[in-house]
Amino acid sequence: MSSTTAAAGRQAAERTAFVVLVALSASHLMNDTMQSLLPAIYPLLKSKFDLTFGQIGLITFTFQFTASLLQPVVGLYTDRKPMPFSLPVGMGFTLCGLLLLSSASSFALLLLAAGTIGLGSSVFHPESSRVARMASGGRHGMAQSLFQVGGNAGSALGPLLAAFVVVPHGQSSVAWFCLVALFGMFVLFNVGRWYRAARQRIAARPRGAGKPAFAFSRGRVFTSILILLVLIFSKYFYMASLNTYFTFYLIHKFGVDVQTAQIYLFVFLGAAAVGTFAGGPIGDRIGRKYVIWGSILGVLPFTLLLPHANLFWTIVLTIPIGLILASAFSAILVYAQELMPGKVGMVSGMFFGFAFGMGGLGAALLGVLADRTSIDFVYQVCAFLPALGLLTVLLPNVERPVR
């Protein structure tokens, strides 16, 4: 009888964990949908405020910089003192940023709105990634991918919503999405309740139970983390060229209208959302190093072809680029967490923060490059970034694949 009860308890726990993962993924979708509205309406803002590409890049840099600056700090702090209810607070920053964005009347206010939205990310991502790992039941890659796919799906929805809501109704319609933020805060409050209870169960375990062990020397770990950060640089610099400037590229090179360009951007981001989910479970099964290898270097043939393709093949090529490249982040994040056990918050904050930072720095530098040369030249340069995936060969094997 007792074994039956225990089995039922384990099954209930698994169901609860899955519900938490779905709630986190849905919250990530809502969070990143709202955040992706900012780059999605760049053509509208560029026309209304007569912005240069450099100023567009500066808006992205402001958002990404604030999103990246505090993430490692938040992660390191919450490793020592978990904050279950910081999740809805992060969503609250995003809500305030949206309100400011909807009413901004100057470039300075646009920068302030972008920075406030970025603060929401700096609080949301480290703790939500930690909760995803806690709820994973040991399938860390699957949990991170499920969490990440919500964010990528939200990033894909942003341009679509911008095309059919914000572009027809103007900048002020961004305020409508504050209702999404309010619902997200409600969901995350309930996730925080589960998180608090889970922390209490962990605290009740015997001292020393589940204590992490470091399998590599500090020098090997440092070198491996450095290589992973270079791979993040490669991925997010290239992603910045598409997330921020792809609509301008399509408008300039092929003469499509803004709404059509947003739909084509949605195709790329939708492919990225699908690719995000694939990376984690495949990494759980065959090993994360192989996923990292394939997802960075494997995209190189497609990026090299993109600057020379016509409109049809440009859109077709963005699909494998999104599918393959997006599978990298979950594998890289879990790989880094395995390298540094017991530092989930700090690792999550560092990698999310660095990813956001590289995306912002990439957008700013590529904007300046586009102003001084051309938007076409930007894609010719970025095409070679995935070649940095060759560095993956230097990474050690950190886990045995789960079969």
- The reply to whether 126 falls in a domain is yes
Helix (H) or strand (E) holding 179: helix 178-203
Among residues 120, 114, 118, 122, the alpha carbon closest in space to that of 42 is found at 114
Assigned token pair, 288: 């994360």
Among residues 18, 19, 280, the alpha carbon closest in space to that of 144 is found at 280
Q: What is the DSSP string of 189-233?
A: HHHHHHHHHHHHHHHTSPTTTT-----S-HHHHHHHHHHHHHHHH
Q: How many residues does the chain have?
A: 403
- The reply to whether 377 falls in a domain is yes
pLDDT in tens, 312-325: 999 999 999 998 98
pLDDT in tens, 226-260: 999 999 899 888 988 888 889 889 999 999 988 88
pLDDT band for position 215 (cuts 50, 70, 90):
low
pLDDT band for position 207 (cuts 50, 70, 90):
low
Among residues 107, 124, 30, 29, the alpha carbon closest in space to that of 71 is found at 124
- The reply to whether 371 falls in a domain is yes
What is the per-residue pLDDT for 202?
Answer: 65
Among residues 242, 237, 243, the alpha carbon closest in space to that of 39 is found at 243
What is the per-residue pLDDT for 402?
Answer: 45
Question: Among the listed ranges 4-8, 205-209, 271-275, 342-346, which one has the minimum average pLDDT value?
Answer: 4-8
- The reply to whether 4 falls in a domain is no
Gap between the Cα atoms of 183 and 299, Å rounded: 37
What is the per-residue pLDDT for 288?
Answer: 78
* Among 138-142, 202-206, 347-351, the range of highest mean pLDDT: 347-351
Number of domains in the chain: 1
CATH number at residue 100: 1.20.1250.20
Among residues 92, 153, 89, the alpha carbon closest in space to that of 127 is found at 89
Gap between the Cα atoms of 261 and 307, Å rounded: 16
Among residues 239, 192, 164, 161, the alpha carbon closest in space to that of 27 is found at 192
* Cβ contact 147:128 at 8 Å: yes
Gap between the Cα atoms of 95 and 76, Å rounded: 25
What domain range is 292 assigned to?
9-205+217-394
- The reply to whether 273 falls in a domain is yes
- The reply to whether 402 falls in a domain is no
Assigned token pair, 69: 């600056």
Query: Whole-model pTM?
Result: 0.67
pLDDT > 90 fraction of the chain, expressed in percent and rounded = 23
List for the chain the helix, strand, coil content (%; round to 5).
Answer: 85, 0, 15
* Burial environment of residue 316 by CB neighbours within 10 A (0 to 12, 13 to 18, 19 or more): middle
* Cβ contact 156:266 at 8 Å: yes
Gap between the Cα atoms of 327 and 280, Å rounded: 7
What is the per-residue pLDDT for 318?
Answer: 95
- The reply to whether 97 falls in a domain is yes
Gap between the Cα atoms of 268 and 225, Å rounded: 29
Fill in the DSSP letter of residue 136: S
Fill in the DSSP letter of residue 164: I
Mean pLDDT of all residues belonging to the chain: 82
The answer, yes or no, to whether residue 153 has pLDDT greater than 50, is: yes
